[in-house]
Amino acid sequence: MPRRKGLIISDEQMRVVETVLDKLRRVTGGTLVALVSTSGQPISTSPSESSSDTLSLAALTASSFAATRQLAEVLNEREFTLLFHEGKESNLHVVQVTERILLLITFGHDTQVGRVRLYTSRALEVLKPVLQSAENSEEDDALLDGDYRQELGKAIDGLFSSDD
């Protein structure tokens, strides 16, 4: 059976990610900086307190990016890796970090778009190799050893047994 590849971020990798997100938010003047999966799940945010809006923003950003991928295909482009939305009060800048991870930044009009783009590209230089490494982790044996997996399997089977 082929092994599935998953996103397994170690504690050290997560510290690097959180440090980069916090610094990126500070230097850009952003309101929110977040890493989200292309399936719409938040991975990490700065500030770390998230709200229901963060979940919605992650899901909607991922679906918007998926639509952008289809637009690139229709226009015979290999890909579009950047998405920008400008509003009256706030802006949204989204960039692809890896195949399955997006970086989004929300910021107001007092922040220059060029500043966001410059510091985002610098942050990507650090984030991309860390997240590519986490993305290529083998999901199977990296999390559970054999004995634990066997005991866990028995416990789960016991929960769903039909001995009623």
* DSSP assignment of 137-158: EEHHHHH--HHHHHHHHHHHHH
Token pair in block for residue 3: 């092994």
Question: Residue 1: which pLDDT band, with cuts at 50, 70 and 90?
Answer: very low
- Total length of the chain: 164
Question: Residue 141: which pLDDT band, with cuts at 50, 70 and 90?
Answer: very low
Report pTM. 0.76
In the block, which residue shows the tokens 């770390």? 48
Q: How much is the pLDDT for 142?
A: 44
Q: Report yes or no: 80 and 69 within 8 Å, Cβ to Cβ.
A: yes
CATH class name, domain 5-159: alpha beta
